[in-house]
Structure 1
């Protein structure tokens, strides 16, 4: 599999496998088959979080499954594992945002210990501030994550669902404190652009599902040490499962036109819309598409996208649709 480099220094596979539903809606046997096949195909980058599956219980199922799998396969050193802090519930069985743990320094310190134990490891390769918690002073969060990097508990630190101006502010604060700065940002990003008039999901004083904007891509171009990990890149299967993926504010004229161009290119190259989306995203060197798979067949579809070649004309048509 082709490679990307996180933060200009950490090689990873060009596709990141999302493990959000592993151990719950994706049963353990299927999840392990997906993980085994991903690694067999050259995949090294796997994403999870301390709160995943808390909507079905207390959370942590995904981390625990990954920990058991890595222990059984003895492959920890060949992988880059990303996990997160900030959105785990403090009230068992109630994942509501009013109970999210947040990003205070003490919370970060305790949460990383929980993730290490569930993953069965002594280090985390990439640790995200899951949601931009504007209740907590940003310098406190930046300092807490920076100290984990200084202590060797984590390698890279990043943020997710964060506005560009907040990312810049956090990086400046890290420089002032002399600690590891955010070098990876995980945002909702796909081929379609949502309507700017779509409702914003605001929790803990800041937007939750933050789509990568033109400003994010402009910021990336000016900062080659920064990587965008694009979550929900396939819109949860919506490109394949409906006449048009209208969820999350995509039902607007520009998106309809863009979707039709996507389908035309897919027919031309004999691929699925999902594969064209991933192949198009892979032409941006600072972007790593993050996708989920609930079956091995879905994984195979995504893996085949890595080899899909799009012509300059097709790329331009997709870009300008």
Structure 2
């Protein structure tokens, strides 16, 4: 296979975009592990006091991720995220207003491999969320596992991330003042195993926990579809039932994280690597679905709202797909 190298004449702006995305990919794939190694390594140096003091701080700060975290507007508005946005580029599209006097549970689809649209739109100011939805503060949910990594937990909390568990979401949705939007990638890590160009398979049929949570707190549901999310990486073929897929699913159940074998381009060449392709992402925020509060919803009530949510999500996809070069015969597949 001939390797296609990047030309020397690449403009500085594009080089900065590549560097910005490189640090983001590193942060997603390896920063937590680096922080864990650093924490323990410091214990065997003359700087051991840093880890000891952090350990004390960590113990006293243990519940913060589940109580809304500790976001940093400075980090969320940093210029590096604008370079990340422009690399693809990523655009956030509003279709309806969100009342800041209410709380919302936003369902993000699809998960993709690295949730690029979800992170850039809801954890940074780069695509203009505060201007599009004034008075609304988004909180993107992430696997609780990552909040157990020293140093890394503080970094992701600064971006507005919270653990993907019921307690963390409930803490925010109980706020009667409103203005809270909990963002959940409904398909979760397992859905990333289906993330490849041209794929529109969503893992949602048996995912009803977010629906029940919305009813219990009377939080309006907002479907979101991110066109282009699955176009960023190729993935080794792993059809359902194949040996590779069974191994991936087994590891996912054991470790809590999925391990898609993805690839795209590199930093200095375009033929292979873990850098995403430069392909546009358009994240469409649908209209809110009004939910009546009920602390003890029946299964029938949950099923009815779940069906309505899937219908609204399908309608959102069908209404906008032709704008983003999705063939007319392509439709969402719910599994």
The normalised TM-score by structure 2 is 0.30
Q: Which has the larger radius of gyration?
A: 2
